Structure 1
Amino acid sequence: MGGPFDDLTETVFADKTVLTESYQPETILERDEEIEAYSHALQDVLFGRTPENIFVYGKAGLGKTAVTKYMLEELREEVPTRESADNLHTHTANCNGRTLFMVVRNLVNRLLPDHASPFPERGLGTGDAFDELYRQFDRIGGTHLVVFDEIDHLEDANTLLYELPRARANGHITDAKVGVIGISNDYTFRQTLSPKVKDTLMETEISFSPYDAAELRTILDHRADHAFVDGVCDTSAIAKAAALAAQDMGNARQALDLLRVGAELAEQNGETPVTDAHIETARERVQRGRVTNKIRDQTEHAQYILEAIANLQTSGEVPARSKEIQRTYEQVADSHAASPLSTLKSIQDHLSDLHMLGFLRRHEQNKGLSGGQYYEYELDLDPALVLETRTEIAKHTE
């Protein structure tokens, strides 16, 4: 009797990783304007000057992180060839799901010498962590570029963006130079910052717009050349994946997922080449998977709010005001043995974030002097998918 893998002798993929999110391309396509803007913003590093602060904006999958990695790698290669440039050190911190203390502590621990004890998790505060971070910057010297990915997810971004860019001016750092690169999915993130931070940050803004179908086609053609065995993927299938992604979000990640999953379906069915039909079949699977992953990426209480609105939507009680959502949210939190957020303002902040991320539709109501102005919300997703995802998450956290 043969084994379960005996029939798996051929594959359509030459290098499947080329179609995954983690792949860092050697060549960045269709982002020439953003690369040029980045180059101008980083040029001070080459002349030994304090680097500009940079903020990169755009929805997920538009190449922000890939371009940032590419530019920092190019900068690291260029710095040793410039007499005026100081030694360059780059650091990256993902802010999603982390407190400011956790982010700063993690940076400190990566900078500490090998023989040093890690910065403690308890007993010291965020101010202590910043003090140690400054000591390590000065100990190492040179120029430090610190990338804060998903900075819009950091609750205390104001403190971070007031402290680090002003560290040298305030005398916390004397020997090192520090620049901040913030990456945000929220185009309105700057509006959430305090006036004093806005006034002192003086950052360069680089905005990444969605790709069109032609740009996505160029990216997919280049990836397909490396990803597939010759002759196993129709050019029309590549065009189909590019067109579908452009119609939806203009998202390269989505286009790559469509092409990869379409090829997986073709391989599973023993069918070659990969055709438009495989891409069309992959569409529903990719959309469902992406929504599920987006829900999983939200904070615990944001997920409870989504679950609450899904319950309201299932029973036909939407659009709903924030007060109505709060009541159902409290019931959901109780059902998961969690302490609910105590203020309506905190619920409204989460609703605003979820609307910005595309989970919710928001309707503005103006009832004049008698009723005032307020928002009502409903899901912009299938409520059954939200509830199904929440059930799965709850199962794995029990």
Structure 2
Amino acid sequence: MAGPFSDIERSIFAAKEVLSEDHQPDKILERDEEIDEYRHALQDVLFGRTPQNVMLYGKAGLGKTAVTKYMMEALRDEITERPDADELHVHELNCNGKTVYSVVRTLVNELLPETASVFPKRGLSTSDAFEELYAQLDRLGGTHLVVFDEIDHLDDVDTLLYELPRARSIGHITNSKIGIIGISNNYTFRRSLSPKVKDTLMESEISFSPYDASELRAILDDRIDRAFVDGVCDDSAIARAAAIAAKDRGNARQAIDLLRVGGEVAKKRGDDHVDDSHIVEAQELVQRGRLRNRIRDQTQHAQLLLETLAYIEQRGDTPTRSKTIKTRYEDVAASHAADPLTTLKSIQNHLSDLHMLGFLQRSGQNHGESGGRYYEYSLDLDPEIVLDIRREIETERDPR
């Protein structure tokens, strides 16, 4: 007897995984300048010298992580042919929502011998964690490159970036060398660091600019050759996906997602090819999915503030001041049985972060000596979609 999947055939996609977010391409397109800067920054590793610290800046989807993985693999391969190079160890950590202690603990447990007990989650200090990290680095020796993705999300990042770069120069480690590679979506991240950290870090900075439509088209052409059955994807679909992503944020991930979802739309319709009409339909699905993920990544208070701005936006009362937002935010927090932030300054800090992340628009107002200077905020998103996503999140949290 035929089952519910028996009539499904591979009519559109040849290798759909090529369009997934976790796919690592064999070659990196349209990032030659950034790769050359990276190559120059890491060249000391080939000669057994202490690595230079590197910071990568750019919005999500601009290739920072993909280029880093590509460069780490290339470096691993190259040092096997270099007699002066030390053994290379690459450690990759995502810092989103982490503390310095948890990050250092993760590194320690990665370095410990298999027979050793894991470093505890609690009960010891951050200084204890650093001390154990240095002991394990010197036990292994070699060169260690530590990749901190989303480093701007790390709590007390100054401590980490002050400790690790100077570990060898002040004698904490003698048998090993360490270099930091930080990846940040925040172009202004360096400004938030303390002066002593900036002086210690002395890093190379590599900035990833948004892709234009022609660059995105080249990236899509490369993926399409492998992802779709020959002749299935129209040129019009490729051009529309590249144009939409270029006009929005210059984001390669968005362009690739548009093609993948466009293919899914075509398959669901029963169409045997993908054209620009499928990409148009995919656009709303992709935008909603990405926004859902971005909102989920925010702290509870940031989410409550977005919900608050959505309600205010619906009433047509934006742009509005942080004082007004605070009053309505307290009501929204109470409706979810959440303890609200208590100071206006903490509200303003969260609003500033949400503006920096592209969720809000902010305009400065100057009313002279009588009115003073202040900011007004408005939501830079569809309030209905924000509220729908917030309802989904709260339902998942408490499905009753």
Instruction: Tell me what 2:102 maps to.
Output: 102
Instruction: Tell me what 1:228 maps to.
Output: 228
Instruction: Tell me what 1:269 maps to.
Output: 269
Instruction: Tell me what 2:11 maps to.
Output: 11
Instruction: Tell me what 1:140 maps to.
Output: 140
String of CA shifts for 1:175-227, please: whole Å, max 9, x gaps: 11110000000101001111111122110000000001110010000000000
In the alignment, residue 218 of structure 1 is paired with which amino acid?
A
Instruction: Tell me what 2:178 maps to.
Output: 178
Q: Distance in 2 between matches of 1:352 and 1:170?
A: 37
**By how many angstroms is 1:332 displaced?**
2.5
Please tell me whether the aligned partners of residues 11 and 272 of structure 2 are also in contact (alpha carbons under 8 angstroms): no
Q: Distance in 2 between matches of 1:166 and 1:84?
A: 23
Please tell me whether the aligned partners of residues 152 and 186 of structure 1 are also in contact (alpha carbons under 8 angstroms): yes
The alignment partner of 1:81 has SS state of: coil
In the alignment, residue 184 of structure 2 is paired with which amino acid?
S
1:208 aligns with 2:208: yes
Instruction: Tell me what 1:375 maps to.
Output: 375
Please tell me whether the aligned partners of residues 137 and 173 of structure 1 are also in contact (alpha carbons under 8 angstroms): yes
Q: Distance in 2 between matches of 1:373 and 1:216?
A: 42
Q: Distance in 2 between matches of 1:180 and 1:199?
A: 14
**Alignment map for 1:324-343 (pairs within 5 Å):** 324-343=324-343
In the alignment, residue 236 of structure 1 is paired with which amino acid?
S
String of CA shifts for 1:130-150, please: whole Å, max 9, x gaps: 111111111111110001100
Instruction: Tell me what 1:130 maps to.
Output: 130
Q: Distance in 2 between matches of 1:18 and 1:61?
A: 15
Name the TM-score, length of structure 1 as normaliser: 0.97
Instruction: Tell me what 2:387 maps to.
Output: 387
**By how many angstroms is 1:328 displaced?**
2.4
**By how many angstroms is 1:163 displaced?**
0.9
Larger deviation: 150-159 or 208-217?
150-159
**By how many angstroms is 1:101 displaced?**
1.6
**By how many angstroms is 1:7 displaced?**
2.1
Please tell me whether the aligned partners of residues 262 and 282 of structure 2 are also in contact (alpha carbons under 8 angstroms): yes
**By how many angstroms is 1:31 displaced?**
0.3
Flag structure 2 segments of 5+ consecutive residues without an equivalent: none
Please tell me whether the aligned partners of residues 97 and 155 of structure 2 are also in contact (alpha carbons under 8 angstroms): no
In the alignment, residue 148 of structure 2 is paired with which amino acid?
F
Q: Distance in 2 between matches of 1:373 and 1:171?
A: 49
Please tell me whether the aligned partners of residues 233 and 272 of structure 1 are also in contact (alpha carbons under 8 angstroms): no
**By how many angstroms is 1:241 displaced?**
0.8
Instruction: Tell me what 2:299 maps to.
Output: 299
Share of identical aligned residues, percent?
68
Instruction: Tell me what 2:280 maps to.
Output: 280
Q: Distance in 1 between matches of 2:237 and 2:66?
A: 25
The alignment partner of 1:5 has SS state of: coil
Larger deviation: 222-231 or 311-320?
311-320
Question: Structure 1 residues 378 and 130, CA, compared in 2 at 3 Å: closer, same or farther?
Answer: same
String of CA shifts for 1:323-368, please: whole Å, max 9, x gaps: 2222222333333333223332222221111111110000101111
**Alignment map for 1:307-322 (pairs within 5 Å):** 307-322=307-322
String of CA shifts for 1:42-83, please: whole Å, max 9, x gaps: 001011111011000000000000000000010011112111
Q: Distance in 2 between matches of 1:103 and 1:345?
A: 28
Q: Distance in 2 between matches of 1:12 and 1:186?
A: 38
Question: Structure 1 residues 331 and 106, CA, compared in 2 at 3 Å: closer, same or farther?
Answer: farther
Name the TM-score, length of structure 2 as normaliser: 0.97
**By how many angstroms is 1:106 displaced?**
1.3
The number of aligned residues is 398
Instruction: Tell me what 1:248 maps to.
Output: 248
Q: Distance in 1 between matches of 2:392 and 2:90?
A: 38
Q: Distance in 2 between matches of 1:73 and 1:347?
A: 43
Flag structure 1 segments of 5+ consecutive residues without an equivalent: none
Q: Distance in 1 between matches of 2:134 and 2:13?
A: 48
**By how many angstroms is 1:289 displaced?**
1.2
**By how many angstroms is 1:248 displaced?**
1.0
Instruction: Tell me what 1:20 maps to.
Output: 20
Larger deviation: 179-188 or 328-337?
328-337
Larger deviation: 21-30 or 99-108?
99-108
The alignment partner of 1:265 has SS state of: helix
String of CA shifts for 1:116-174, please: whole Å, max 9, x gaps: 11111111122211111111111111110001100111131111111111111222111
Runs of 4 or more above 3 Å deviation: none
Please tell me whether the aligned partners of residues 34 and 208 of structure 1 are also in contact (alpha carbons under 8 angstroms): yes
String of CA shifts for 1:65-110, please: whole Å, max 9, x gaps: 0000000010011112111111100001101122222211111111
Instruction: Tell me what 2:119 maps to.
Output: 119
The alignment partner of 1:44 has SS state of: helix
The alignment partner of 2:312 has SS state of: helix
In the alignment, residue 228 of structure 1 is paired with which amino acid?
F
Please tell me whether the aligned partners of residues 48 and 84 of structure 1 are also in contact (alpha carbons under 8 angstroms): yes
Instruction: Tell me what 1:346 maps to.
Output: 346
In the alignment, residue 120 of structure 1 is paired with which amino acid?
P
**Alignment map for 1:20-169 (pairs within 5 Å):** 20-169=20-169
Q: Distance in 2 between matches of 1:327 and 1:52?
A: 48
